[in-house]
A and B are shown apart, each in its own frame.
Chain A
Amino acid sequence: MELQKFQYDNKIVKWFAYATMLWGIVGMVAGLLAAIQLFLPAANLDLPYTSFGRVRPVHTNAVIFAFVGNGIFMGVYYSLQRLLKARMFSDMLSKIHFWGWQLIIVLAAISLLLGKTTGKEYAELEWPIDILITLVWVVFGWNMFGTILKRRERHLYVAIWFYIGTFVTVAMLHIVNSIEIPVSFWKSYSWYAGVQDALVQWWYGHNAVAFFLTTPYLGLMYYFLPKAANRPVYSYRLSVIHFWSLIFIYIWAGPHHLLYTAVPDWAQSLGVVFSVMLIAPSWGGMINGLLTLRGAWDKVREDAVLKFLVVAVTAYGMATFEGPMLSLKSVSAISHYTDWIVAHVHVGALGWNGFMTFGILYWLIPKLFRTELYSKRMANWHFWIGTLGIVLYAIPMYWSGIMQSLMWKDFTPEGQLKWQFMDTVNVMIPFYITRAIGGALFLTGAIMMVYNLIKTIKIGNFLANEDAEAPALEKTFAKHGKEHWHRIIERKPVQMMIVSLVVVMIGGIIEFVPTFLVKSNIPTIAQVKPYTPLELQGRDIYIREGCYTCHSQMIRPFRSETSRYGEYSKAGEFVYDHPFQWGSKRTGPDLARIGGKYPDSWHYSHMLDPTSMSPGSIMPAYPWLFDDQVDVSSTVAKIKAMKRLGVPYPEGYEKIAASEMEKQAKGIAANLEKDGMKTKSDREIVALIAYLQRMGTDIKKTATDTTKK
């Protein structure tokens, strides 16, 4: 057998490792800034760019796609080459992948701070960046499959299946959820509206967690945990079952984010059933990871790398126990819209993704630089500070989440709501402070790690191209006795990809197609009419400022919600909402029926200084809305785009849109003037008030009332 000599590309791994460290710190700083603003609103510096509604998407996008994203690529580029006994397919593709991804991150950060957002959580990036992501993702896949095709190892190790599953599913999720119609270069509307948009978005949102934060990291776990412990994985057979069952079940779970909302009941139940089933593969994987350390626990005592990995896998176990539990309708009734969910995702993000990344970095950097870690003591300190940070983050959020939810649902013996919404905000403050301390500790640990690794890099010698040798792969494969049936799939990466795609597509199709096709799922309501041009502009300001990060627009059919907010939300009310803005968190009250609840002047004063109308409010002020003019030039394009999406504006409406808009704006300005507030009718605040006053009012009109359009 011919022994072939080749070299592993360590340079690309090094680059991705550096990017992981850099963006990790950036993303965590953004998170800390957002956390501080929740008890100290002034920390937003009164600038549009640093207000909560913009910083929060920067934080989530940075930690998910920049920190974890680069972490995935770092781990994949290192392990894939060694598992396949081959250099990456193309150094050029590796470079394009690396720089393309960093470009996306920079563009994302700038555009989000500028308020360029689609308003769909975790998919906020506008359409030009969406296209760029697709292209770079294809480059990644091309490079990976190219490497798989020229491999020198016949069997595809379990980690590689996870990478393949990740690539295929993320591609599909991203494309389906990002279908949008451009209005201008930095503005688009989601193709889907209301209930359908919600279903697509949370199908995406849930699977972003599943296939960006979970499956690739499980692949990394199956490589780096055995390597760091120098022990084979506990059960290879379990890992086979783990992979197939996980990708098959995960894709169905999305609707558990929409329990008790206006999504069809059968879709909710489907989501619940599969979410509960998810505990089996998830815990199978977790147990497989932990039992890999059987007989090696003495190493865990000494080795910071293993400590990080063990806590990461444990956090994965906790989060995946909690996930199915939160998916139960009765639990969701309490937990949805509260800090409980924030705690849940941070056990996953800080524990599973964060600690896994730290563990891998501590193991990888000394290996790449052929030296010992600069300070093991400091790494151990990082571990304990980070762990304390997670505890101080999660426990207050669990506590406050449950407490706030119970307060929302509390009635007096006379049958009145016991607490004003503001009462339930005021009691949150100590918890928000503790949470920020937890986050700051976690960040401190990460900074210590970066320092420790820079020191390690300084004393080490980097090896850009590592020599390796392996026998060439035989052209034809001779069967040796009885074979596993699935070996056929594993040997052929292309088949493997197709099978994965089919498996995940089934889940998507069965949930979407009926909702799209079956009219009865979305009862149309005759009184619900399209937004006026001014309201549409106001809605886009609402989206731009990220109001959905703190306010929901979905009243669930509970007595506690209908007495607080009004009639529960119906599917037919959202048919013109491109995109839907249901939100997922109630840091502030629900806004679905805010329209008409207060006079225009209330909103005017409230947006200028929220505490003037609601003492104790932690909402930031939006002074720039009072200076900036509405971009009138975009109105025609927006109306046209909406018409193309099927919104029934009358024929030629875009021609009279500008005058209609002016008329409505003048009316609101006159209204404000009556209450002693002088403002020009072309300011953004006027448009925003128009939208807020429209929200949820349509169904209150009687069918004969045609006075208002």
Chain B
Amino acid sequence: MSVIFILILASLTIAVGFLVAFIWSVKTNQFEDDYTPSIRILFENEVKQVDEPIKDKNR
């Protein structure tokens, strides 16, 4: 039976570790650039297609 306590303790330690790390990161302003990645995906550097003949549907 005692193995339950060991496991719960071990798991909770890690879980709390994640929580602490998360709170710490928020408190220390580490979510600074949380904007650029969301904008970046909207831009595709459209390249003019040259090597692909327009009518070739089978490729």
Which residues of A line the B interface, CB within 8 A? Answer: 5, 11, 82-83, 153, 155, 157-158, 223, 226-227, 230-233, 235-237, 239-241, 244, 248, 461-470, 482-486, 502-503, 506, 509-510, 513-514, 517-518, 520
With A248-B15, A465-B52 as contacts: A510 and B39 at CB distance below 8 Å: no
**Residue in A82, A158, A235, A463 whose CB lies within 8 Å of B44:** A82
Task: Check B30 against A514 for contact (C-beta < 8 Å).
Answer: no
**Residue in B42, B50, B59 whose CB lies within 8 Å of A467:** B50
Task: Check A244 against B18 for contact (C-beta < 8 Å).
Answer: yes
A464–B56 alpha-carbon span in the complex (Å): 10
Shortest distance from the beta carbon of A554 to any chain B beta carbon, whole Å:
24
Task: Check B22 against A244 for contact (C-beta < 8 Å).
Answer: yes
The 10 closest A-B pairs by CB, nearest first: A232-B38, A464-B59, A237-B34, A467-B47, A236-B38, A236-B34, A484-B30, A514-B4, A510-B11, A233-B38
Please give, as numbers and ranges, the residues of chain A lying within 8 Å of B44 by CB-CB distance.
82, 468
Please give, as numbers and ranges, the residues of chain B lying within 8 Å of A153 by CB-CB distance.
40
Task: Check B37 against A506 for contact (C-beta < 8 Å).
Answer: no
**Residue in B3, B22, B24, B50 whose CB lies within 8 Å of A513:** B3
Task: Check B25 against A484 for contact (C-beta < 8 Å).
Answer: yes
A118–B32 alpha-carbon span in the complex (Å): 50
Task: Check A514 against B42 for contact (C-beta < 8 Å).
Answer: no
A430–B32 alpha-carbon span in the complex (Å): 57
Shortest distance from the beta carbon of B20 to any chain A beta carbon, whole Å:
12
Please give, as numbers and ranges, the residues of chain A lying within 8 Å of B14 by CB-CB distance.
502, 506
Task: Check A506 against B15 for contact (C-beta < 8 Å).
Answer: yes
A157–B47 alpha-carbon span in the complex (Å): 22
A232–B43 alpha-carbon span in the complex (Å): 10
A158–B41 alpha-carbon span in the complex (Å): 11
Please give, as numbers and ranges, the residues of chain B lying within 8 Å of A82 by CB-CB distance.
41, 44
Task: Check A237 against B3 for contact (C-beta < 8 Å).
Answer: no
Identify the closest chain B residue to A249 (Cβ).
B15
With A82-B44, A509-B11 as contacts: A461 and B4 at CB distance below 8 Å: no
A233–B37 alpha-carbon span in the complex (Å): 10
A240–B26 alpha-carbon span in the complex (Å): 12
Task: Check A482 against B31 for contact (C-beta < 8 Å).
Answer: no
Identify the closest chain A residue to B21 (Cβ).
A485
Can you list 5 pairs linking A and B with CB atoms under 8 Å apart? A5-B47, A155-B40, A461-B55, A467-B48, A506-B15
A5–B18 alpha-carbon span in the complex (Å): 40
Please give, as numbers and ranges, the residues of chain A lying within 8 Å of B57 by CB-CB distance.
461-462
Please give, as numbers and ranges, the residues of chain A lying within 8 Å of B39 by CB-CB distance.
232
Task: Check B18 against A503 for contact (C-beta < 8 Å).
Answer: yes
A467–B59 alpha-carbon span in the complex (Å): 14
Name, among A157, A227, A510, the residue most crowded by chain B CB atoms within 10 Å (CB to CB).
Answer: A510
Shortest distance from the beta carbon of B18 to any chain A beta carbon, whole Å:
7
Task: Check B47 against A235 for contact (C-beta < 8 Å).
Answer: no
A509–B37 alpha-carbon span in the complex (Å): 35
A236–B41 alpha-carbon span in the complex (Å): 12
Please give, as numbers and ranges, the residues of chain B lying within 8 Å of A466 by CB-CB distance.
49
A11–B59 alpha-carbon span in the complex (Å): 8
Task: Check A230 against B42 for contact (C-beta < 8 Å).
Answer: yes
A158–B10 alpha-carbon span in the complex (Å): 29
Task: Check B34 against A235 for contact (C-beta < 8 Å).
Answer: yes
A232–B38 alpha-carbon span in the complex (Å): 5
Shortest distance from the beta carbon of B37 to any chain A beta carbon, whole Å:
5
Task: Check B49 against A463 for contact (C-beta < 8 Å).
Answer: yes
Task: Check A462 against B59 for contact (C-beta < 8 Å).
Answer: yes
Task: Check A513 against B34 for contact (C-beta < 8 Å).
Answer: no
Identify the closest chain B residue to A460 (Cβ).
B57
Identify the closest chain B residue to A83 (Cβ).
B41
User: Given A464-B59, A467-B51, A506-B11, 8 more contacts at CB 8 Å?
Assistant: A157-B40, A227-B41, A232-B35, A468-B45, A482-B29, A484-B31, A484-B34, A485-B21
A462–B41 alpha-carbon span in the complex (Å): 23
Task: Check A482 against B32 for contact (C-beta < 8 Å).
Answer: yes
Please give, as numbers and ranges, the residues of chain A lying within 8 Å of B38 by CB-CB distance.
226, 232-233, 236, 239
Task: Check B37 against A157 for contact (C-beta < 8 Å).
Answer: yes
Identify the closest chain A residue to B35 (Cβ).
A236
Please give, as numbers and ranges, the residues of chain B lying within 8 Å of A469 by CB-CB distance.
45, 47
Task: Check A520 against B8 for contact (C-beta < 8 Å).
Answer: no
Task: Check B37 against A483 for contact (C-beta < 8 Å).
Answer: no
A671–B33 alpha-carbon span in the complex (Å): 78
With A463-B49, A510-B8 as contacts: A240 and B31 at CB distance below 8 Å: yes
Please give, as numbers and ranges, the residues of chain B lying within 8 Å of A158 by CB-CB distance.
37
Shortest distance from the beta carbon of A22 to any chain B beta carbon, whole Å:
20
Identify the closest chain A residue to B18 (Cβ).
A248
Task: Check A461 against B37 for contact (C-beta < 8 Å).
Answer: no
Task: Check B33 against A467 for contact (C-beta < 8 Å).
Answer: no
Shortest distance from the beta carbon of B41 to any chain A beta carbon, whole Å:
6
With A236-B34, A237-B31, A248-B15 as contacts: A514 and B3 at CB distance below 8 Å: yes
Please give, as numbers and ranges, the residues of chain A lying within 8 Å of B49 by CB-CB distance.
463, 466-467
Shortest distance from the beta carbon of A21 to any chain B beta carbon, whole Å:
18
Task: Check A482 against B59 for contact (C-beta < 8 Å).
Answer: no
A223–B42 alpha-carbon span in the complex (Å): 9
Shortest distance from the beta carbon of A667 to any chain B beta carbon, whole Å:
45
